[in-house]
Structure 1
């Protein structure tokens, strides 16, 4: 017999539960938490209970399925998706799409299972399409694809997911034969039309009492509650309960700046309630999806010392051992990515031979497996790829995957593999990609418990599990429109759902009718002492959120931003020394000091190092550009290496040109080099410099370009030397190294304590028989080159640095007077820089317009000013200055270390 009992308030259920006999009846609920709470009540009342005393609806449907079709296997969604992708690829020609559309097809199966599995569903839908051509054009093909794949899964693979069970049970006429226990159905808004039909069929042989939610506003959810309307029409009796007098309760409606503020206020409020003597069991923190809040909320509760009923769990994918395992499997499978390669490589002993910056420059951009050969060490680790051809059985895949598990911790891998073995049979065959994808989905969903919840703690739960007689002080957080409304992944419009229900009687789950919003309104009317409704304007990532309609309907100031209550963490940051805990003060002062430094109100601390850093021309320029850039390179040993990519970087091009010019300027200089000889030089240079390219095909055009550059260089140098016949190249890529004592300003070639090691390399030095020298520095373009009068202003000190080194007599085998400092732009073979005009015609031509500042006196001023700048810079470096104070803010735009920088203007 089918009986309906309209329920105006959840408190009425207490009366029904008091008459319920758990030995003879089964109470049907929608969620696990409510099931456990009812079991505890039965245990307290009866001293025992049987499994069937309280059942989740999903448990009942599984029992019915097992009894009616024992050969059909229930599997998880991820495994069904893996098989679905295989089916779609096998029948791509028929379906018109391949596995890339798997998510859409799976959504259609979920959404339309009631029609797909109904014996007459497709026939009725075809008739409906005939009168709804616009809907037919929009999603009929997707429905047919979903039906084809669903029937393949059901009939060929004999599997089904939990969400499809009720739709499949429509095919059986003997439901009442396999169930004989009377039911009390308490599913609130979580009941579908198909489930209602199953309950009606079961009522032929057993008593089925349906508790129908009957609030005064139920007409707002007519579509959602349609299953109850159907059951009411077919019930034998409708019992009316006495009305319940609603008690007054205190209500607060609060708006916060974001989710974090919601969490802080909730924790602060819970602490106030506990201090007022309210028990933790009487307090509940409720959200539509509590898992979004839980990681941060749990940390705040733990700091407060507040127990919670919710278990502390972690995702399996958060474990480093699992992350490395999957990354290694992907890398060995040819699914190359920089992040996977990094994770799987840097836990190996071989990784100690390769700096991270070097690894990143080599493998930031990956295209094919051959890219692994950019480094011999990495290649040796990963060159042996897995055989991915053909189908693999379940056991074969598990055996291969376990070969790459490198951790001594095996508990979590057992949990993951147990899930795989439960869903896939030994006869299941998939390609490697699908097995690996399925394994990844298990890891993404699987959780492991770190700490069990405290049964007497605060209730922290999702909205659909929040009905509880104990919870009298409730905080509702996350009341946003986005969290309460479902997302429609199909192309069915709201009108389609209503038309399908009206015309052919299929009430599909309409995302516009939110069961979460329905439950929220029911909970709001449940008996309690105090309720707080919270809305955060932004989520934890900073994205804007819209307030829920229900929250807006409550009385209160919806525009006012509420400051959250203080928590223990706030107290620790602001507390003064008391109770014998001086560490609180030191931590507070340190935080305040760091903030003041970041804001530029305090000078940053100086770097203390046991050794003075190495100094070069570029290091001096870098320090003057920004001391933090210098510190990043010289103290923190960070490197900014060019990425190996399809676009050949300027550094590689520069290395090729410099090495080519070095070979071509050997004295006596030849001008009759052939293209074939230059080709061989460049091949040799490539090997010597260990130049790498993302694609080997990039080398050929680059080499041809540099052959032409070499021929043009020879032609220019020939004409130059015909005009300046005494010119000789005295040094090429000339290295120097010496030690400088900043206290005594003494220079030594031998290492000494507390001395700067100064080193560098001069591209080229030309000279003649009169002991005059010209310093040449090769540049690919004139961009960024200043006139010599602006060298100090623009911190271009490289050529002056080289002149200072030469005239101090610090170069072996070479000495003389520097009369010219030139940037040699090899794009157009122009020389720009400083020269003494009085000596023009010997090693360089005179200027077209006489430069008044190109004299011996100007040179001496340059030398004197450079020496002053160098000494003051070395003094600042010795003190340990490392403040992030760029000479120009535009420097920060392209700085490699801006994310690590604490410059006030970047914070």
Structure 2
């Protein structure tokens, strides 16, 4: 017998529950938390309960399926998706799409399961399509794809998901024979048309009492509640309970700037209630999706010392051991990515031999497995790729995956693999990619408990589980349109849902009829003392949110912005830090220290100088870096930061420069030859590649680059031959010549041995040419003229490299090279021009005279350069010795492109 009891208010359910016999009846609910609460009430009243006393609807449908169709296995959505992708790839020609459309097809199955599994569902739908050609063109093909795949899953793979069970049960006429316990159905707005038909079928042999929510505003959700109309029409008895007088309650409707303000206000309000003597169990914080709020909310509650009933859980994927495991499996199965390789590599001992910056430059861009050979250590670890060809059985996949689990922690991997083993049978075979995707989905969804909630704490729960007699002080957060309404992933319009219901009787879940909003309105009318309804204008990521219709209906004053109540964290920020230091050891900074750091960040106070354990090594480029910005120098010399070029399909300028420099070094050996053959140049470049350990993203890049440098070498030889024919006394006396000495900037004394307070100064000159009069010219190879200025601007632009080399030579600090410098040139090998400084009076021996006389190309100008450079050098070394590292760039326009911008604390960047 089917009986309907209409209830206007959730408080009326308490009276019914008081007369309920748990030994002879089953109370059917929709969520787990309500089930546990009802079981506790039975336990307190009777001292015991049986498993069937309170059931979730989903548990009942699973029991019915198991009794009626034992061949079907219940599987999780992620595993169903893995099987679905396999089916779609195997039948891509029939379906017209492959596994890339899996999400859309799965959404159609979920949305239209009631039609797909109904014995006459497709026939009725085809008839409906004939009268609705626009809908037919829009989504009929997707429906047929979804039906094809769903039937394959059911009939060939013998699997089903929990969301499809009720739709599949439509195929059975003997439902009443497999269930014999009378039911009291309390599903509120979470009942579907298919579930109503199942309940009607069961009522043929047993008593079924359905609690129908019938609030005054029921008409606003007529589509959502249509299953109750059908049940009422088929019932033998319909009862309407006497309404219960509504109790007076306090209501607050608050608008906040965002979710964080909602959280702060909620915690502050809970603290006020607790201080007023209200029991924690009478307080509830409720959200449509509480998990969105929980990470931040939990931190605030913990700081406040407020107990809560919710468990503290973490996703399995947050564990480093699990993350490394999956990264290793992906890296060894051909799914190379820089992030996975980094995670899998840097937990191994061998990683200590490779700096992170080097690793990043080598593996930021990955294309094929051969890219692993860019570093010998990495190659040895990951070159042994897994055999992933063909179909892989469950045992083969689990065995291979476990071989890559290298930590002693086994509890979490047991939990993950248990889920896999429960869903996949021993004879299940999938391609490796699908097994790995399924494992990733398990890890993404699986949670493990860190700490159990306290039964005496406040209730923190989602909206659909918020019905509770104890919760009399309630805070509703997240009342946004986005959180209360589900997204429609199919192409069905709102009109389609109504037309399908009206024409062929299929009431599909309409996204426009939100069961969350229905539950919210029911909860709002439940007995309580104080309710607070909150809306945050932005979420935690800063995205804008729209207020829900329900929140808007509560008040006419929507625009007023409320300030959140203060929490313990606010008190700490305003408290006397000296007193807090005595109470909490982790607050070690004094107030004046904090204020000083703030003033420094604002640029109102200078940063203190660094205390140097030892003086850094100095080179020409180091001096230029310091003059450009002291922080750049500090990043490179003190903090040892590097910015190496990435190995990519486009060969970087540094690699090209190294290759050209090394080639010129080989070709300028005296006596200089000009008759090098192509084979010899090819061999030289191959030797250089090995000596310099040059690495390329793809081996195929080397051949065209080598050919380009063979041509460069030929042009270089031709230019040098012509030059030496004109300036016959030219002779290259040094190539890539290194020098090193120690300098005291205070006394300006120079020596070969380190002394206290001295800098180690070193460098390397690309090339030095000379004539028979011991005149010297310095050549510095450059690929292009970009950034090169006239010698008159060198000091102003802090372009001191060539002046540095001249100073070293004039001080006779380079062994085996003696003479007077008369020329400093940038040798631009793109055009083979020489640009720089030269003494015009000595032109004709090593270089030609200028077409225009340069009044600054004299011995006096040279002496002035040496004097000014010496001042700059000594002054810079003195500043370095004092530990200056303040981010003060010589030109603020360089900051946007500075490689250390993210680490910099310059006031104009904060």
Which bracket does the TM-score occupy, shorter chain normalised? over 0.9
Once the two structures are TM-superposed, the CA of residue 419 in structure 1 deviates from its matched residue by 0.7
2:831 is equivalent to residue 828 of structure 1: yes
For residue 741 of structure 1, the aligned residue among 744, 751, 759 is 744
1:464-863 equivalences under 5 Å are: 464-555=464-555, 557-576=557-576, 577-578=578-579, 580-581=582-583, 584=587, 586=589, 588-863=591-866
Q: Which residues of structure 2 form unaligned runs of 5+?
A: none
What's the offset of the Cα at 1:585?
Answer: 6.8
1:111 matched residue in structure 2: 111
Rounded Cα–Cα distance in structure 2 between residues aligned with 1:130 and 1:711: 77
Which deviates more, 357-366 or 838-847?
838-847
What is the aligned partner in structure 2 of residue 29 from structure 1? 29
Deviations 1:183-229 (A, max 9, x none): 11111111111011111111111111111111222211111111111
| Cα deviation digits, residues 332-352 of structure 1 (max 9, x gap) | 111111111111111111111
Partner of 1:79: 79
Equivalent residues, number: 907
1:209 alignment counterpart: 209
Q: How does 1:148-187 map to 2 (within 5 A)?
A: 148-187=148-187
Decide which of 878, 882, 886 is 2:881's aligned counterpart: 878
Q: Over residues 279-300 of structure 1, what are the superposed CA-to-partner deviations in whole Å (9 max), with x where a residue is unaligned?
A: 1111111111111111111111
Aligned partners of 2:744 and 2:759 also within 8 Å:
yes
Q: Aligned partners of 1:93 and 1:133: how far apart in 2?
A: 25
Say if 2:781 and 2:826, in contact at 8 Å, map to a contact too: yes
Q: Is contact 1:574-1:588 (8 Å) kept?
A: no
- For the Cα contact (< 8 Å) 2:537–2:547, is it kept in 1? yes
Matches within 5 A, 1:139-538: 139-538=139-538
Q: Per the alignment, do residues 607 and 439 of structure 1 end up closer, same or farther by CA in structure 2, a change over 3 Å counting?
A: same
Deviation of 1:451 after TM superposition, in Å, equals: 0.4
Q: Which runs of 5+ in 1 are unaligned?
A: none
* Displacement of 1:127: 0.8
Per-residue deviation at 1:896? 2.3
Contact 2:188 2:213 in 1 (8 A): yes
Question: 1:822–1:833: 8 Å Cα contact kept in structure 2?
Answer: yes
Once residues 888 and 253 of structure 2 are traced to their aligned partners in structure 1, the CA distance between those partners, rounded to angstroms, is: 47
SS of 1:170's partner is helix
Change (3 A) 1:83 1:565: same
CA distance in structure 1 between the partners assigned to 2:460 and 2:286 by the alignment = 6
Structure 1 segments (4+ residues) deviating >6 Å: none
Deviation (angstroms), 1:369: 0.5
SS at match of 1:63: helix
Q: Deviations over 1:507-537 (max 9, x none)?
A: 1111111111111121122221222222222
3-state SS in 2 of match to 1:899: helix
Separation of aligned partners in 1, 2:220 and 2:441 = 38
Query: Which one is further off, 381-390 or 567-576?
Result: 567-576
- The more displaced of 2-11 and 30-39 is 2-11
The separation in 2 between residues aligned to 1:852 and 1:214, in whole angstroms, is 100
After superposition, what is the alpha-carbon deviation per residue over 1:579-620, rounded to whole angstroms, capped at 9, x for unaligned?
744854725444433333222222223222311111111111
For 1:847, what is the secondary structure of its paired residue?
coil
Corresponding position of 1:8:
8
Partner of 1:900: 903
Q: Give the SS at the match of 2:816.
A: coil
Whether the 8 Å contact between 1:764 and 1:777 is mirrored in structure 2 is yes
Deviation at 1:123, TM superposition (A): 0.6
Contact 1:801 1:866 (8 Å CA) reproduced: yes
The CA deviation at 1:753 is 4.0
* Separation in structure 1 between the aligned mates of residue 386 and residue 211 of structure 2, nearest angstrom: 57
How far apart are the structure 2 equivalents of 1:720 and 1:599?
57
TM-score where L is the length of structure 1: 0.98
CA shift, 1:744, in A, is 2.9
> What does residue 17 of structure 2 align with?
17
Cα deviation, residue 840, structure 1: 2.1
TM-score scaled by length of structure 2: 0.98
Quote how far apart the aligned CAs of 1:311 are: 0.2
2: CA distance between counterparts of 1:859 and 1:562? 72
Q: 1:308 to 1:833 in 2, by over 3 A?
A: same
Q: Quick one: distance in 1 between partners of 2:335 and 2:864?
A: 61
**CA 1:588–1:134 in structure 2 vs 1: closer, same or farther (change >3 Å)?**
farther
**Residues 587, 178 of structure 1: alpha-carbon distance in 2 compared, 3 angstrom cutoff:** farther
Tell me, in whole angstroms, the C-alpha distance in 2 between the residues paired with 1:791 and 1:280: 74
How far apart are 1:436 and its partner, in Å?
1.1
Comparing 361-370 with 95-104, greater Cα deviation is found at: 95-104
Q: Is the 8 A contact 2:685 2:706 kept in 1?
A: yes
Give the deviation of 1:883 after TM superposition. 2.0
Cα deviation, 1:350-393, whole Å, max 9, x if unaligned, reads 11111111111111000000001111111110111111112222
User: Once the 2 structures are TM-superposed, how far is the Cα of residue 899 of structure 1 from its aligned partner?
Assistant: 1.8
How many Å separate the matches in 2 of 1:257 and 1:787?
57
Closer, same or farther in 2 for the Cα pair 1:808/1:581, shift >3 Å? farther
**Counterpart contact for 2:746–2:874, Cα < 8 Å:** no
- d(CA) in 2 for partners of 1:565 and 1:845? 81
Task: Give, in whole Å, the separation in 2 of the partners of 1:562 and 1:607.
Answer: 46
Relative to 1, partners in 2 of residues 1:875 and 1:560: Cα closer, same or farther, differing over 3 Å?
farther
* Counterparts in 2 of 1:590 and 1:428: CA distance versus 1, 3 Å: farther
Contact 1:611 1:754 in 2 (8 A): no
Instruction: Please give the per-residue CA displacement for 1:545-604, whole angstroms capped at 9, x wherever unaligned.
Output: 222222222215322333322222222222103374485472544443333322222222
Cα distance, 1:641 vs. partner?
Answer: 0.7
SS in 1 for 2:901: coil
SS of aligned partner of 1:731: strand
- Please report how far the alpha carbon of residue 240 of structure 1 lies from its aligned counterpart in structure 2 after TM superposition: 1.4
TM-superposed deviation, 1:770: 1.8
Match among 888, 891, 896 for residue 891 of structure 2: 888
Contact between 1:573 and 1:588, CA under 8 Å: does it hold in 2?
A: no
